[in-house]
């Protein structure tokens, strides 16, 4: 199984709502990522988890809260978002740091299209 | 700092035309290089990769060669199809980090 799955595919939420995005992989990868992608732009890294521990936080606002319950799952909890947070949210995974990190091939999921009203 | 520069798009070609999308990079150390493709409404799919100088990555008729002397990783395809219409991202990964550096993306439109 070389797939990263994400749910939901689409999400519409109000600025006072709380929602969560879910990502799952069964490739035995030990690093998982959240990216934000605006239209006609490349993905921007938000968070990296390595061995279920938060490794990188790219100064993301606290209204985005990541969680890694186990090595296969990654969640992104959303609260009090702003309309400018509307974007495609991509999850990715790659092999862990015990292997050559320079060969850091990332596998991406299909994304969740988020609209904040 | 590390960076990736891609040619500006959009690129519009007729079916069966030859495709080149330029990608150059600057990096400290020895990066791995990747081309990803993103079809409308979808996530990124790895198209091909190269991990050291002179490596040639290839997949689905696309090719790119890791040229250290020119710091380039240009994407080529001999005969494009309408189904190749998508956005193509060049990216690098430097050893010791988890970060990808993406180019700005090049939109390709192939007309029948």
Task: For B33-53, write each residue's pLDDT tens digit.
Answer: 999 999 988 899 999 999 889
In this prediction, residue B76 carries a pLDDT of 98
In sequence order, the 6+-apart residues with CB closer than 8 A to the CB of A98 are none
Provide CB contacts within 8 A for A97, sequence distance 6+: A30, A31, A50
pLDDT of residue B112: 94
Sorting pLDDT into bands at 50, 70 and 90, what band is B30? confident
B87 min Cα distance to partner chain A (Å): 9
- The answer, for A111 touching chain B at a CB cutoff of 8 Å, is yes
Residues of B whose CB is below 8 A from A107: 46
For the segment B4-16, the average pLDDT, to the nearest whole number, is 94
Percent residues over pLDDT 90 in chain B? 79
Average pLDDT score over chain B: 93
The residue of B27, B44, B50, B88 whose CB has the most chain A CBs within 10 angstroms, and thus the best one to mutate to test that interface, is B44
- Confidence check: pLDDT of B24 > 80: yes
Q: What is the pLDDT of residue B102?
A: 95
Q: Check A104 against B102: CB less than 8 A apart.
A: no
Distance from CA of B105 to the nearest CA of A (A): 6
> Residue B99 has what pLDDT?
81
Of A45, A103, A108, nearest to B32 by CB-CB distance is A103
Which residues are within 8 A (CB) of A39 and not within 5 positions of it... i.e. 6 or more apart?
none
Q: What is the mean pLDDT of residues A18-33?
A: 94
Contacts of B44 (CB under 8 A, 6+ apart): A43, A90, A92, A108, B36, B37, B38, B89
Mean pLDDT of A71-88: 96
Q: Which run of H or of E encompasses B106?
A: strand B106-111
Q: Give residue B28's pLDDT.
A: 82
Question: A101 vs B95: CB contact, 8 Å cut-off?
Answer: yes
pLDDT level of residue A2 (50, 70, 90 thresholds): low
Instruction: Report the pLDDT averaged over residues B68-87.
Output: 96
The 10s digit of each residue's pLDDT in A45-60 is 999 998 899 998 999 9
- At residue A13 the predicted structure's pLDDT band, cuts being 50, 70 and 90, is very high
Q: What is the mean pLDDT of residues B77-96?
A: 92
For position A65, what pLDDT does the model report? Answer: 97
Report how far residue B73's alpha carbon sits from residue B94's, in angstroms, rounded to the nearest whole number. 15
What is the reported pLDDT for A1?
Answer: 62
Judged by a CB distance cut-off of 8 A, whether residue B1 touches chain A is no
Q: Say whether B44 and A43 touch across the interface (CB within 8 A).
A: yes
Exposed, middle or buried by CB within 10 Å (0-12, 13-18, 19+), for A17?
Answer: middle
- Give residue B8's pLDDT: 83
Q: Which residues of B touch A103 (CB under 8 A)?
A: 32, 51, 93
Record: contact B43-A111, CB cut-off 8 A: yes
Residue A100 has pLDDT above 60, yes or no: no
Distances from the Cα of B79 to the Cα of A34, A81, B14, B50, B60, angstroms = 35, 45, 9, 22, 11
Query: Are residues A96 and B25 in contact, defined by beta-carbon separation less than 8 angstroms?
Result: no
Is B63 in a helix, a strand, or coil?
Answer: strand
Q: Could B99 and A45 be called an inter-chain contact, meaning their C-beta atoms sit closer than 8 Å?
A: yes
For residues B93 and A82, the model is more confident at A82
pLDDT at A101: 52
């Amino acid at each position: 199984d070389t797939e990263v799955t994400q749910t939901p595919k689409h999400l519409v939420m109000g600025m006072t709502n709380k929602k969560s995005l879910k990502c799952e992989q069964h490739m035995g990868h030990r690093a998982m990522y959240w990216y934000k992608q605006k239209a006609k732009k490349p993905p921007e890294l938000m968070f990296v988890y390595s061995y279920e521990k938060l490794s990188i936080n790219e100064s993301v606002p606290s209204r985005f809260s990541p969680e890694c319950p186990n090595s296969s799952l990654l969640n992104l909890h959303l609260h009090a978002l702003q309309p400018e947070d509307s974007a495609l949210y991509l999850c990715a995974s790659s092999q862990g740091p015990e292997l050559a990190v320079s060969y850091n091939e990332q596998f991406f999921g299909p994304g969740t299209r988020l609209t904040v009203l | 700092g590390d960076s990736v520069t891609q040619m500006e798009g959009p690129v519009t070609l007729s079916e069966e035309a030859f495709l080149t999308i330029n990608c150059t990079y600057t990096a400290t150390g020895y990066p791995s290089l990747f081309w990803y493709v993103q079809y409308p409404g979808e996530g990124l799919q790895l198209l091909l990769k190269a991990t050291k100088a002179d490596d040639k990555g290839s997949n689905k008729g696309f090719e790119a060669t890791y040229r250290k002397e020119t710091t380039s990783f240009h994407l080529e395809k001999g005969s494009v199809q309408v189904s190749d219409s998508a956005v193509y991202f060049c990216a690098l990964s430097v050893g010791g980090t988890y970060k990808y550096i993406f180019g700005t993306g090049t939109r390709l439109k192939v007309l029948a």
